[in-house]
Amino acid sequence: MDLRDRSRQSLIPSFLYSSAASRTIGLERNILGGSPVSKAAPAATANDGALMGSVVAQAPNEPGKIKLYSPMYYAACTAGGIASCGLTHTAVTPLDLVKCNMQIDPAKYKSISSGFGVLLKEQGVRGFFRGWVPTLLGYSAQGACKFGFYEFFKKYYSDIAGPEYAAKYKTLIYLAGSASAEVIADIALCPFEAVKVRVQTQPGFARGLSDGLPKFVRSEGALGLYKGLVPLWGRQIPYTMMKFASFETIVEMIYKYSIPRPKDQCSKQLQLGVSFAGGYIAGVFCAVVSHPADNLVSFLNNAKGATVGDAVKKLGLWGLFTRGLPLRIVMIGTLTGAQWGIYDAFKVMVGLPTTGGVTPAVPATGLDKLKAA
């Protein structure tokens, strides 16, 4: 193919041509020459994600790259979610430990600084990481489901809505996709969370997951592991909806208003920096929205036979919204920023685009070009 053919081919969306020169020339004549264009052609490409435009990105066709929305793509997102949530939650175990104890025993753990002091005095440095195993395993399972199913449901709901409505109501798609993913993710997390809270807030209960899980089951039965599932949904579903929808919106605004060039012209390092910044800001909103339910989860998993009414009566409405909130804002902001940074770094490592930002426009068809002419 000579230079003239190559320049002409670049005007055509990649999903409309193959490597065969004869097919390329035929399509060029149909589109650029004004010949009638089949209405079936765009529909055939919809399965490849080509028409999802402003909600999901187009699938790459280059050899050796992971095709978007393929099983390998969802597997990569699942692996990225494991690294994202498992590693970050484990890293902030000391903060989580102090936060849980402040929620359960505010008379003893009066502030962040005094809370760390009490733990250091009573349990030593090793005490700061009590419960790290159920944290690592539980949030790895949650992250796998959260990110993997979010990518799946985002594409699934976009396909149902169609390209026009998917672009118009993209925020609703982000909210619906993240909520659906979190319902599944919390079922995976709940047993680990129950053991983690008991280990962290009742010294002497168990050393960790290996002895804590059987002891918990003997005490409250297997179903007791899911006693906190509804409050966990109440905490995590709003948190995740805020986490994903606000992140997508914030990142899009950063690229639109703060960076003077399109996302695809930015370096990978800059894109990952945007992911972390967008994640941190989103995390602050997440902490505020989900904090009352977080207090309920800690209370119910710490007290045998306790109910939501008992928690509200003891903590009060003001306590539900404010107890431990400053620490949780710091923890969740850092956590969420790091999660998006790790997740997108993993995607970049395997050759996938980062999440959010200005996405490709809906490809123009031959009919669109004829109407424009």
List the one residue out of 19, 8, 5, 2 whose CA is nearest residue 63. Answer: 19
- pLDDT for residue 146: 97
Q: Which residue type does 131 have?
A: G
Q: Which two tokens stand for residue 185?
A: 């993710």
- pLDDT for residue 104: 78
Q: Which two tokens stand for residue 204?
A: 């002497």
Q: Give per-residue burial for 57-71: e unless 16+ CB within 10 Å, then b.
A: bbbbeeeeebebbee
Q: Which residue type does 134 have?
A: P
Cα–Cα distances (Å) from 178 to 30, 117, 170, 219, in that order, read 41, 38, 12, 34
- pLDDT for residue 57: 59
75-86 confidence digits (pLDDT tens): 999 999 999 999
Q: Give per-residue burial for 93-125: e unless 16+ CB within 10 Å, then b.
A: bbbbbbbbbbbbeeeebeebeebbebbeeeeee
142-164 confidence digits (pLDDT tens): 999 999 999 999 999 999 999 99
Q: Which two tokens stand for residue 114?
A: 């005094």
Contacts of 335 (CB under 8 A, 6+ apart): 88, 89, 92, 283
- pLDDT for residue 128: 86
Place of tokens 């949904």: 233
List the one residue out of 361, 360, 365, 373 whose CA is nearest residue 43. Answer: 365
In angstroms, how far is the first alpha carbon of the chain from the final one?
A: 28
- pLDDT for residue 52: 44
- pLDDT for residue 56: 66
List the one residue out of 166, 162, 158, 165 whose CA is nearest residue 42. Answer: 162
Cβ(15)–Cβ(45) below 8 Å: yes
DSSP letter string over 261-282?
A: S-GGGS-HHHHHHHHHHHHHHH
Q: Which sign does the torsion angle of CA 220, 221, 225, 231 carry?
A: negative
270-328 confidence digits (pLDDT tens): 999 999 999 999 999 988 888 888 888 777 766 667 777 887 888 788 888 888 888 88
**Around Cβ 146, how many Cβ atoms within 10 Å?**
31
Cβ(365)–Cβ(62) below 8 Å: no
Segments of the chain scoring below 70 in pLDDT: 1-64, 301-304, 358-373
